[in-house]
Structure 1
Amino acid sequence: MTATRQVALVTGASAGIGRATAIALTAAGFQVIGTGRKTAGISAPAGVSYLDLDVTSDESVASVVEQVIDRFGQIDVLVNNAGVGATGAAEEFSVARTQDVFDINVYGVMRMTKAVLPHMRAQRRGRIINVSSLSGFVPSPFMAVYTSTKHAVEGYSESLDHEVRDHGVRILLVQPGPINTPFAANAVQADAPLPLYASGRRTFDEVFAKEASGGDDPAVVAKVIVAAASDRNPKLRTTAGSTAASISALRRVLPARIFDRVVRRFYRMPS
């Protein structure tokens, strides 16, 4: 079977940015398949179908991509949105727990990308949109593990885009700022907390909670993802939300020493 509409596969679509993206892509005319670890109890938005997916499993990834191809005959857009937060000082994370976060946020992106690329290359078209973060281009103290995963996704995406562009495929990045979702509540916590970081960690938690509660609606990010999926000449990187745009501009124009002070002041750290 070959789809008459473009087909979009969205990972981590059970809530938050992923769900908003699935809804927005459907409204834009895409046939949308959303995924989540356990989707049986999800109330699916109109026009969106769901499949169970574990991005840390090669077998699960291969199965989902095969099911979509069997049903629709194509995958035109992949949105790699599935991910997990991680908060705590870097020294407080064991290597094993750090690897768990990387397995979802980085290797999950790589698994999904490798699974769909042969199909996209064969049809000579396709877009893979990787949801990065404000943390993909600025430092975030007490989020070093999470930030490093997003930096990895940025480097992987930009490099891969050069490799596959000649085959009709683009790799694009969307960089949200603070979004009003349960991100912090679901974040992986450090497994070896140290007393010397306790005060800084508490302050970070207060700052982060305030930013998230006043953050953009997930629909703001979804709108940017739809544009990346459908614009004739998309940009490699696009920020989503006013905070990400303003911080990106500051990073470009401020001297490194001044920007460093801005970061420390924002997180209420000693000068």
Structure 2
Amino acid sequence: MLSMFPTRHTPTPTTASPSDAPSHAASSAPPSPLVVVVTGASSGIGHATALALARTGARLVLAARNADTLAPVAKACRAEGASAALAVPTDVTDADAVDRLARTAVGHHGRIDVWVNCVGVGALGEFHQTPVAAHRRVVEANLLGHLYGAHAALRQFRAQGQGRLINLVSAGGWIPTPFAAAYTASKFGLRGLSAALRAEVAHLPGIHVCDVAPTVVDTPGLSHVANYTGRNIDPPLPMLDPRRVADAVVGLAQAPQPRATTWVGAAAAPARVAQAVAPQAMGAFLRWATEKALHMAGPARPSDGNLFAPSRSTAVDGGQRRSLQHTLARAAALGAFGLVLGAWAARQQRPAPARYPAAGARDGKAP
């Protein structure tokens, strides 16, 4: 969507090829105040990230589909200390709109130091019962939307010799989610995209591609998710405060040498190990847990959620976070891992199936 905000006539740097990129690009932290583009900034993790960056004095360029929900977020960021906060209504599934977003940021501030891809949508339901259009929209937003942002950002980073791309991948990029096949596909694809881009810029010390991988986060996204299960969505899980994820993004934006992947949430490590050690048992466990939660939930009508039209919410929190101590959450995660690992160990101890003797041996003859 075309921005209705005027841009200054600051010359936009031309795109540089890898061989043309400045050889003197520094690997230290970028200058302050940072110029940061945040997509998906109107609610949830994106809103929390914008506010956290504002407190550092950053110059922000905020993007989301709905101008009415984006404007108050920009105002709140200015109140929190942002040097500037420009709202640019943008649908990240439109590559041209994302390109205009990048050009607007450079037109106002002369550069982009950090680009944060925070957009995330989902569709819950058995794969064959979820409309193909919903599957496609999830992939367009979560994978292609990030790809378009990465394309615009890295083109600018190469021209200026420095920059940081931060993708919100989530633990869903490592651990498949039953009843959310398109979401899983988009996150696995996004993890691969980040890895490939990291390899491409490995020779450019001033450019970094980073992933943030939180576990389940309490955002409005859970209430806005497309729902084709016929049941209410109310996962009985410990959830992260979106501000913890935002703090991880700020840490990557400011670190002298940002790490490639930052995990957020106690359940991430044991779940990844369980997935690697016993993927079939892990899949069966996740399906059982999801089906049980849906069975216990109340009925709900099918809904497209915010897939095709933006929500009106600007909230950071989803209101579903359980008041569990971190120790309890950690114990639950380790317990789940123990169940999966135990299932794997039991399977490994099963006797091997009997082999049929060769034809000659059955007849009493030497083989």
* Post-superposition CA distance 1:52-76 (Å, at most 9, x none): 1111112211211111101100001
Alignment equivalent of 1:209, drawn from 235, 243, 250:
235
Alignment equivalent of 1:9, drawn from 18, 33, 37:
37
Of stretches 35-44 and 179-188 in structure 1, the one that deviates more from structure 2 is: 35-44
- The one-letter code matched in structure 1 to 2:290 is Y
Check the 8 A contact 2:119/2:142 in 1, yes or no.
Answer: yes
Please tell me whether residue 20 in structure 1 is matched to residue 20 in structure 2.
no
| Rounded Cα–Cα distance in structure 2 between residues aligned with 1:58 and 1:150 | 19
| Rounded Cα–Cα distance in structure 2 between residues aligned with 1:125 and 1:265 | 46
Please tell me whether residue 175 in structure 1 is matched to residue 226 in structure 2.
no
Please tell me whether residue 148 in structure 1 is matched to residue 176 in structure 2.
no
| Rounded Cα–Cα distance in structure 2 between residues aligned with 1:255 and 1:95 | 30
Provide the TM-score with structure 1 as the length reference: 0.85
What are the equivalent positions in structure 2 for 1:119-130 lying under 5 Å apart?
119-130=156-167
Matched with 1:195 is: none
**Secondary structure of the residue that 2:61 maps to in structure 1?**
strand
Check the 8 A contact 1:65/1:115 in 2, yes or no.
Answer: yes
Matched with 1:163 is: 200
| Rounded Cα–Cα distance in structure 2 between residues aligned with 1:90 and 1:257 | 18
Q: CA deviation at 1:97?
A: 2.8
Alignment equivalent of 2:286, drawn from 260, 263, 269:
263
Check the 8 A contact 1:178/1:243 in 2, yes or no.
Answer: no
Check the 8 A contact 2:136/2:182 in 1, yes or no.
Answer: no
Change (3 A) 1:188 1:78: same
What are the equivalent positions in structure 2 for 1:97-246 lying under 5 Å apart?
97-167=134-204, 168-190=206-228, 202=231, 205=232, 208-211=234-237, 214-246=238-270
Q: CA deviation at 1:258?
A: 4.5
Change (3 A) 1:86 1:157: same
Identity %: 30
Matched with 2:126 is: 89
Check the 8 A contact 1:37/1:52 in 2, yes or no.
Answer: yes
Check the 8 A contact 1:75/1:126 in 2, yes or no.
Answer: yes
Provide the TM-score with structure 2 as the length reference: 0.64
* Post-superposition CA distance 1:195-252 (Å, at most 9, x none): xxx6xx64xx55x5333xx411110100111112222222211111223344235445
| Rounded Cα–Cα distance in structure 2 between residues aligned with 1:17 and 1:117 | 23
For structure 2, which runs of at least 5 residues remain unmatched after alignment? 1-9, 12-30, 293-342, 344-367
- The one-letter code matched in structure 1 to 2:158 is R
Check the 8 A contact 1:174/1:224 in 2, yes or no.
Answer: yes
Check the 8 A contact 1:221/1:241 in 2, yes or no.
Answer: no
- Would you say how many aligned residue pairs link Structure 1 and Structure 2? 255
| Rounded Cα–Cα distance in structure 1 between residues aligned with 2:261 and 2:171 | 11
**Secondary structure of the residue that 1:56 maps to in structure 2?**
coil
Check the 8 A contact 1:36/1:54 in 2, yes or no.
Answer: yes
Check the 8 A contact 2:91/2:98 in 1, yes or no.
Answer: yes
Check the 8 A contact 1:127/1:169 in 2, yes or no.
Answer: yes
Q: CA deviation at 1:255?
A: 3.6
| Rounded Cα–Cα distance in structure 2 between residues aligned with 1:78 and 1:187 | 25
| Rounded Cα–Cα distance in structure 2 between residues aligned with 1:162 and 1:267 | 36
**Secondary structure of the residue that 1:79 maps to in structure 2?**
strand
**Secondary structure of the residue that 2:236 maps to in structure 1?**
helix
* Post-superposition CA distance 1:178-205 (Å, at most 9, x none): 1111212211244xxxxxxx6xx64xx5
Q: CA deviation at 1:159?
A: 1.0
| Rounded Cα–Cα distance in structure 2 between residues aligned with 1:243 and 1:228 | 21
For structure 1, which runs of at least 5 residues remain unmatched after alignment? 191-197
| Rounded Cα–Cα distance in structure 2 between residues aligned with 1:264 and 1:99 | 23
Of stretches 256-265 and 237-246 in structure 1, the one that deviates more from structure 2 is: 256-265
Of stretches 116-125 and 2-11 in structure 1, the one that deviates more from structure 2 is: 2-11
**Secondary structure of the residue that 1:210 maps to in structure 2?**
coil
Q: CA deviation at 1:98?
A: 1.7
- The one-letter code matched in structure 2 to 1:180 is D
Of stretches 238-247 and 48-57 in structure 1, the one that deviates more from structure 2 is: 238-247
Displacement over 6 Å in runs of 4+: none
